[in-house]
Every structure is written in C-alpha cells, then in structure tokens.
A and B are shown apart, each in its own frame.
Chain A
C-alpha cells in the first residue's frame, strides 16, 4: 500500500521529483566520477610502470640496488646461461647501468647511464631511435624532463664522463638523437640511454649487464647463477606502497564528496518534506499512523535513490562513458614533479566503486528522508494541518 502511494506521490509531483532526483543523480555522478578519476590515476601509474619498465619481471645482478648508485660500479657481470638464452630468444633484454657525469652547456650534472639494446620491444620505450647513426660517436636517448633540465635538444652534443671496469675515468661526446615523451619519470629524470654495445665497450664490460628484463609470461629459469629474480609483485611493490599510503587520503576525499552529496540531498529532501507539512497532516487526519507516514516518506526517499541511479545512467552515463573512453587532458606535465601521471587522465569505473557508491548514496537518501519525516510525523496533526513548520 505504501509503495503504491509513494510511487503515486513521486510520479505525481513531476517537477519536485525531477529536481530531487537530479540533485541526487548529480551527487551520484560527482562521487563516481571523482573516485573513478582517482582510481584511474593510480591504476594508470601502475600500468605505465609495467609497460615501460617492468614487463614480466627481471633478473638483477646480486650487487644491484637501484636506490643506491654507489652499487652500480660493482653490479655487472656476464649473464647466467639460461638468462642469456632468454636474451638470445628475444624474450628478454639486458641493461647495463653505470654512474656518469654529463656536461651540457658547460655545466656538470650527475646522471645514470643505461645501455639498452636498441632493438628491444619488450618495454614501451623508443629505443629504436638509437639505431643507425654510424657517424655519431655516441647516440643518446633522453626524456623530455631530462631535456628540459639540461636544456638539451635533438642534435645537441655534450660530454659524458664515466668510470670503466678498470677504474679509469674516460670521456666522450654524446649526441641527443631523440627526446622521448614518457609518462614514467623513472626512465626520464637523471637518465641517459645509449646503445648497449656502446656502453659495454665504453665501460670495458663486454657481454656484461646489470639486470635483464624479460617479457610477460616467461617462466622462471632454473640456472640463474647468483642473479636475483625480481617478479612483477616485487617490482611494483613501491608503487603499491605509494597507493596504500595514499589510501587514507583517498578515503578522506571520498568521505568529503559523500558529505557534500549528503548535504545537497539533505537540503533537497528536507525542503521537499517540510513543504509537505500540510499534506502530512491531511494524511494523519484521514487515518494514516505516524510510523506509516515516516515509512511513506522514507520509501519515497528510497525510490528517489533508485530513480536517481537510473537518472545518473541516463543523464550522466554518456559523460562518464566519454571520459572513460577518451580521458581528460591535463594542462600540466607532472613528470618533472616526479609523478607518473598520464597526459590524459582516464577514470576507471570498477564494479566495487559503482556498487559501494550506489549503496552509500541510497543509505544517505534513506537517512535524510527518514530524519525529517520522523520529525514532522511527531508534530501534532493539528499543527501539521496548519502547515506549521516543525521546530
């Protein structure tokens, strides 16, 4: 019976219902969109790291610690046999890492010099730009951030100085052959990339490498010597730790959005219910009990939430889809700030997010419908009939 009356009330009050639903749907949209943007940002950062850096995992030289450049000097050796087989089969590629000093425009800057096979296609890096250039002594690939820091452009030459395996300092001239536009600042800031064979010659480390990155789906090798296998889980743990550390922030943001939505919905519902004081009085006069009045208005709120979910789909669905498909261009390049951020931020709508938002918004609507209707139903029917506002 209440459902029938509630439906009649909602459908009958066309404009009022439409406005209530629009407010709720807009809140729905905002929460969903902002949270999806945030999730999208984190997922994108993880995905970019995997695409451009991690691939299926790596084998590290036992001395290699990417967080400690002092270890680079000793972190090199010939590859274990089975790892080398992977490289020969083009299922993996080696990288030789060393410290270097560069002198762009007469200034001195520390850098991490990495030798990488130009023909690799396991990670998403434009290493093929290092192919050719027989006339150039040392072709160098750098990122946009590095180019900006060093004021280097394609074609610019600069001095590179390094310490080789015999602990002898040597120097040569590198020429920028390509500036890559990568979202992964870890490949960019402070890095110079050169062909692996050149690096091995310069460093007197022929056939040696610091780590080997292998493609996704490659099973672990048995004979890896003393090299340390690092799987995806290990390699993304920094990223996951950042995401984990950021969770409270995300939850606070979600709660703020929820609170803002609740206030909007509360205002709309309170205004709607308190304006209907006379109607409530009339319902009581013709014999509706107080619990039923409260039930009716709470049910109307519940139906409002259901209709709002549908309205979100109808009115905001195309907008959500558009941004989900094409993303939102960011005006600033965050790479230089040490953040892995897409040039276009693409929101990710997970089932968990949609379900939890739907449930939370529905609960809010029910609560904000229940509180004012309970209050108004407590009034004396005679006051309600006069349209007197509840104190």
Chain B
C-alpha cells in the first residue's frame, strides 16, 4: 500500500454456471484505481458492475485473471485472509442498507470495530465521530425500523467508514433514496473522500451520483467501454 495503486486488475474474466452452460459476466477487464479516487462504475442492469465490485471486495472470486487489492493478490488468498482484508481495510455500502435490525444505530456502526477488537473507550469515540460525520447523533439509540431510508443509508455509511478503511465499495447506494437524500448522501461521501483520502468505488446507474464522480468507468455487457476522468465534477461547481 506504499504506492498509489489501490486496485490492479488484469485480464479479469468471470463466468457463472447457468443450467448446463456458462454466462460470462465480465470479459477481459483491465483496470487500475489509485488512492483517494472517487470512481463510479456505471452501466445498465446486467452489465457486470456489481459482480466487479464483489470481486474487488473479495466476496466473489474471478474465473480468470489477476486481481490485487491494497497490495494483496486475491487469487492467492484464503476466505479467511479475504475476510481479514475486508475487516481491516474495506467498507461496504449496500443498496438495501443491510443494517442488523436488532441493533441500534450505535451498535450497527460499532460492529466493525468489535470485529477489529478495538478497545471499548476508543470504540465509543470512533463510533460517535462516524455517526456525527453523517449527522445522526440524535438517532444514535434508534433501531433501523425507526429510521427513514436516508437515515438508514447514512448509518450504513458510518459503519463503512468507522474503522477508517482505505477503500469503500458502494453498490447502488442511492437506488432506494429520493433525490434530496441521494444528494445528501453523495455530499457526505464526497466530503469523507476528501477528508480521509479514502478511495470510493460506486456501482450505479443513478444519474444523480455521476455528478459527484471524478472518474467514470462505463461497463456494458461485461466489458469496459469507456474510462472517463472528470476534472471538475458538476456537483463541485
């Protein structure tokens, strides 16, 4: 992790068995992402965005090719090592939030720190800081069923960034939100990206998100069709 290369992908292919045949979800993907990038992978449904995101997160494995994340070659790592990589250096944001329903906001955000065995006092201060950064201090003791969609997603963001990961992977983070909440969420994420130098990768086809991205990778039918660098994102105008 000394160099700027956070993700390096070479010749990635992913096939899924479908009936007696195989469906190729990703075809010969070559990609490099650097530290602090705010990148979106966009494309229609079935273009392979989520599959690519899952492979980068070590939740799925490539059929062919090399994937290196934060200096670790995922092809050569065990489930346990990939879990460790996620636990220490990655954060996930899901379209449907995936908050644990029986936990409060505080406890949901605290969970990655418990897994990382951070001591209680430090944990409390880190959780409070993360919750404050997403503006949910007054909802700390609420359970997910008492929160709006936007608040749930802000909780999920706090959980993804609480352990200050090097990389945050967000799968359609605004798909279930209205326009106002979507912009609010993207502003939070954009600010966190600038403050923490955390790299963010989004899988999305939400137009509203694109206005915030500084790099857009277009995917179609499992292939990268365009890799676009945005010097001045519209939302920052």
Q: Does A391 contact B (CB under 8 A)?
A: no
The 0/1 profile, CB within 8 Å of B marked 1, for residues 309-328 of chain A is: 00000000000000000000
B12 to chain A minimum Cβ distance, whole angstroms, is 16
A240 to chain B minimum Cβ distance, whole angstroms, is 53
A286 neighbours in B (Cβ, 8 Å): 86-87, 91-92, 111-112, 115, 159
Count A/B pairs, Cβ under 8 Å.
Answer: 74
A9 neighbours in B (Cβ, 8 Å): 100, 102
Q: Does B236 contact A (CB under 8 A)?
A: no
The 0/1 profile, CB within 8 Å of B marked 1, for residues 7-26 of chain A is: 01100111000000000000
Interface size on B, residues (CB 8 A): 29
Task: Name which of B80, B87, B91, B102 has the most chain A CB atoms within 10 A of its CB.
Answer: B102
Cα–Cα, bound, A284→B58 (Å): 10
Report whether B114 and A285 are in contact in the complex, using a CB–CB cutoff of 8 Å. no
Report whether A287 and B112 are in contact in the complex, using a CB–CB cutoff of 8 Å. yes
Q: Does B88 contact A (CB under 8 A)?
A: yes
Report whether A288 and B87 are in contact in the complex, using a CB–CB cutoff of 8 Å. yes
Interface size on A, residues (CB 8 A): 24
Which of A12, A289, A385 is close to B102, meaning CB atoms less than 8 Å apart?
Answer: A12
A12 to B, closest residue via Cβ: B102
- Given the known interface contacts A381-B59, A382-B60, the answer about A287 and B98 at a Cβ–Cβ threshold of 8 Å is no
The 0/1 profile, CB within 8 Å of A marked 1, for residues 46-90 of chain B is: 000000001001011000000000000000000110011111101
- Given the known interface contacts A5-B114, A285-B92, A288-B115, the answer about A380 and B60 at a Cβ–Cβ threshold of 8 Å is yes
A9 to B, closest residue via Cβ: B102
- Given the known interface contacts A1-B115, A4-B114, the answer about A285 and B103 at a Cβ–Cβ threshold of 8 Å is no
Report whether A285 and B117 are in contact in the complex, using a CB–CB cutoff of 8 Å. no
Cα–Cα, bound, A235→B125 (Å): 76
A4 to chain B minimum Cβ distance, whole angstroms, is 7
B50 to A, closest residue via Cβ: A382
A224 neighbours in B (Cβ, 8 Å): none
Report whether B103 and A12 are in contact in the complex, using a CB–CB cutoff of 8 Å. yes
Q: Does A281 contact B (CB under 8 A)?
A: yes
Report whether A289 and B59 are in contact in the complex, using a CB–CB cutoff of 8 Å. no
Report whether B60 and A289 are in contact in the complex, using a CB–CB cutoff of 8 Å. no
Which of B60, B94, B100, B115 is close to A287, meaning CB atoms less than 8 Å apart?
Answer: B115
Cα–Cα, bound, A249→B146 (Å): 55
B94 neighbours in A (Cβ, 8 Å): 282, 285, 385
Q: Does A290 contact B (CB under 8 A)?
A: yes
Task: Name which of B85, B90, B115 has the most chain A CB atoms within 10 A of its CB.
Answer: B115
A227 to chain B minimum Cβ distance, whole angstroms, is 76
Q: Does A278 contact B (CB under 8 A)?
A: yes
Q: Does B107 contact A (CB under 8 A)?
A: yes
Which of B87, B90, B91, B98 is close to A282, meaning CB atoms less than 8 Å apart?
Answer: B98
Q: Does A73 contact B (CB under 8 A)?
A: no
B100 to A, closest residue via Cβ: A279
- Given the known interface contacts A1-B115, A289-B80, A289-B83, the answer about A382 and B102 at a Cβ–Cβ threshold of 8 Å is no
Cα–Cα, bound, A119→B103 (Å): 75
A299 to chain B minimum Cβ distance, whole angstroms, is 14
- Given the known interface contacts A282-B100, A286-B159, the answer about A380 and B59 at a Cβ–Cβ threshold of 8 Å is yes
Interface of A (DSSP majority class): helix
B101 neighbours in A (Cβ, 8 Å): 13, 279
B178 to chain A minimum Cβ distance, whole angstroms, is 23
B61 to chain A minimum Cβ distance, whole angstroms, is 9
Task: Name which of A13, A281, A286, A380 has the most chain B CB atoms within 10 A of its CB.
Answer: A286
A1 neighbours in B (Cβ, 8 Å): 114-115, 117
Cα–Cα, bound, A220→B186 (Å): 97
- Given the known interface contacts A285-B86, A287-B83, the answer about A278 and B112 at a Cβ–Cβ threshold of 8 Å is no
A281 neighbours in B (Cβ, 8 Å): 98
Cα–Cα, bound, A291→B80 (Å): 9
Cα–Cα, bound, A385→B159 (Å): 16
Cα–Cα, bound, A17→B86 (Å): 30
Cα–Cα, bound, A279→B103 (Å): 11
B89 to chain A minimum Cβ distance, whole angstroms, is 9
B61 to A, closest residue via Cβ: A380
Cα–Cα, bound, A8→B108 (Å): 11
The 0/1 profile, CB within 8 Å of A marked 1, for residues 128-161 of chain B is: 0000000000000000000000000000000100
B79 neighbours in A (Cβ, 8 Å): 289-290
Cα–Cα, bound, A77→B220 (Å): 112
B142 to chain A minimum Cβ distance, whole angstroms, is 13
Cα–Cα, bound, A381→B87 (Å): 14
B4 to chain A minimum Cβ distance, whole angstroms, is 24
Cα–Cα, bound, A9→B92 (Å): 21
- What is A's interface to B at a CB cutoff of 8 Å? 1, 4-5, 8-9, 12-14, 278-279, 281-282, 284-291, 380-382, 385
- What is B's interface to A at a CB cutoff of 8 Å? 54, 57, 59-60, 79-80, 83-88, 90-92, 94, 98, 100-103, 107, 111-112, 114-117, 159
A-B contact pairs, 21 of them (CB 8 A): A1-B114, A1-B117, A5-B114, A8-B103, A8-B107, A12-B107, A279-B100, A285-B57, A285-B59, A286-B112, A286-B115, A287-B83, A287-B87, A287-B88, A288-B115, A290-B79, A290-B80, A291-B80, A381-B60, A382-B59, A385-B98
Which 3 residue pairs are nearest across A and B when measured between Cβ atoms? A287-B87, A12-B102, A282-B98
Given A286-B91, A286-B112, A288-B83, 10 new contacts (CB under 8 A): A5-B111, A9-B102, A282-B98, A285-B86, A286-B115, A286-B159, A287-B90, A380-B59, A381-B60, A385-B98
